[in-house]
Amino acid sequence: MTGGAGFIGSNFVLSWLAQFDEPIINLDALTYAGNLENVASLVGDRRHIFVRGGIGDSCLVAGLLDKYRPRAILNLAAESHVDRSISGPEDFIQTNIVGVFRLLEEARIYWTGLTGPEKENFRFLHVSTDEVYGSLGLHDAAFKEVNRIEPNSPYSASKAASDHLVRAYHHTYGLPVLTTNCSNNYGPFHFPEKLIPLTIVKALAGEGLPVYGDGRQVRDWLYVQDHCAAICCVLSKGRPGEVYNIGGWNEKTNLDTVYAVCDLLDELYPRKDLISYRKQITFVADRPGHDRRYAVDASKVGCELGWKPVESFETGIRKTVQWYLQNQDWVASVQSGAYREWMEKNYTDRAKSE
């Protein structure tokens, strides 16, 4: 699998090896959001084979495929933060488009050389996002797999391009691909530039909690372990060439999400002055082209493959806040100088322009 030291990838690796003995070759470039501490519990476990490198390194990928002869490739490697894509889109083009193209090429060459059951059973599973569908109105039906692709940010455009490449490799070459488009994930090991971990970290530091615009943007929230279970389900039972939307059926405004985090912190880790963490909320200038609402209809994966989320937003967000409270050393370790520089640039500038 690729991207196995990132947020979703590391959760998947840990979940997989907790259930199965089948080894995982974990290829990750260890950019700012990739962290080997996420999989530190697997040190010495022979089922976890870590290789540092990017999906755009064709020679490295070809060598790994030749050496380990995997039955599947799971692509979770991606640049994934919308704000970063706005200020620096080129990395997103290189990883999410060029990198996926090169990975697909090596997968196609490898698959073409297989025979019999190995070839028949091979799968290439590509993990994508609901953001490729664009933005919904408040009363619009949730996105289905047949919805038109209408990305609105450099990030979502790069992911849409990779989705199209995956589809093309199936229809042109016959490569047995699967694509999943998930809603907003949250949970352990989430890099603290995204809304939920950012709110937790800044609240505990006594800093302002930045909320874009009026905070009424709506997102569907999916607990990361539920997403990992869905990936397993699609890998084992999904039909090649198909797209599956993975959602949590938990639509919340950004402001309500921040309120939920603050209320849990009030309960589990109250401020010394007993004032609610809600008082730290600060509204900042909205991001350019901010999509108003995302929501996916996950009926297909439920009806066809039998998957459904286990966690409600209430149970999942409690587990998430508890994890961050219990793992503050991990949070401190990922907040490097580069991270602090980015946060200063992104949020201080927005606060000034509000």
Convert the pLDDT of each residue in 71-95 to its tens digit.
999 999 998 767 777 878 899 999 9
Q: Quick check: 144 and 158 in contact, CB under 8 A?
A: no
How many structural domains are present in the chain?
A: 1
Alpha-carbon distances, residue 237 vs 125, 130, 133, 338 (angstroms): 12, 21, 24, 41
Q: Considering the domain boundaries, does residue 283 fall inside one?
A: no
What is the domain extent for residue 174?
Answer: 7-190+221-251+292-316
Number of neighbours of residue 32 by Cβ within 10 angstroms: 15
Task: With respect to residue 327, please indicate whether it lies within any of the assigned structural domains.
Answer: no
Out of 131, 193, 220, 311, which one is annotated catalytic?
131
Query: What residue has token string 């698959």?
Result: 111
Provide mean pLDDT across the span 39-51: 95
Q: What percent of the chain has pLDDT over 70?
A: 94
Q: Collect all residues with Cβ–Cβ distance below 8 Å to 53 and sequence separation of at least 6.
A: 27, 28, 29, 60, 61
| 171: Cβ contacts below 8 Å, ≥ 6 apart | 241
User: CA nearest 16: which of 48, 41, 43, 44?
Assistant: 48
In a domain, 237, yes or no: yes
State the Cα–Cα distance between residues 325 and 327, nearest whole angstrom.
Answer: 6
Domain assignment present for 226: yes
Tell me, yes or no, if 131 is annotated catalytic. Answer: yes
What's the one-letter identity of residue 201? V
pLDDT of residue 343: 40
Q: Supply the CATH number for residue 80's domain.
A: 3.40.50.720
In a domain, 275, yes or no: no
- Partners of residue 348 on adjacent β-strands: none
**Mind listing the pLDDT tens digit for each residue in 121-177?**
999 999 999 999 999 998 999 999 999 999 999 999 999 999 999 999 999 999 999
> For the chain, what's the residue count?
354
Contacts of 267 (CB under 8 A, 6+ apart): none
Strand partners, 178: 125
For strand 48-52 and strand 72-75, is the pairing parallel, antiparallel, or unpaired?
unpaired
pTM for the model stands at 0.92
Q: Which of 110, 133, 155, 347 is catalytic?
A: 155
Q: What are the structure tokens assigned to 127, written together? A: 């993990």
By three-state DSSP, how is residue 173 classified? Answer: helix
Q: Is residue 196 in a domain?
A: no
Q: Which amino acid is at 71?
A: R
* Whole-number Å distance between alpha carbons of 290 and 217: 8
Which tokens belong to 110?
């490898």
Predicted confidence at residue 268, as pLDDT, reads 98
**CA distances, 344 to each of 14, 20, 101, 193, 276 (Å):** 32, 42, 34, 11, 24
Handedness of CA 95, 97, 98, 101 (dihedral sign): positive
Q: Which of 79, 83, 130, 251 is catalytic?
A: 130
- Range list of H helices, the chain: 7-19, 58-68, 82-87, 90-93, 100-112, 116-121, 154-173, 195-204, 224-237, 254-268, 299-305, 313-326, 328-334, 337-343, 349-353
pLDDT surpassing 90 at residue 341 = no
Which structure tokens are listed for 35? 């962290």
What percent of the chain is predicted at pLDDT more than 90? 84
How far apart CA 314 and CA 334 sit, in angstroms, is: 26
Q: 54-66 b/e with 16+ CB inside 10 Å = b?
A: bbbbeebbbebbe
Q: For the chain, what is the total number of helices (H) and then of strands (E)?
A: 15, 11
Cβ atoms < 10 Å from Cβ of 31: 15
130 classed as catalytic: yes
**Is residue 16 in a domain?**
yes
pLDDT in tens, 185-199: 999 999 888 899 999
Rg of the chain, C-alpha, whole Å: 20
pLDDT interval class at 289 (50, 70, 90): confident
- The DSSP bridge partners found for residue 207 are none
Tell me if 269 is assigned to some domain.
no
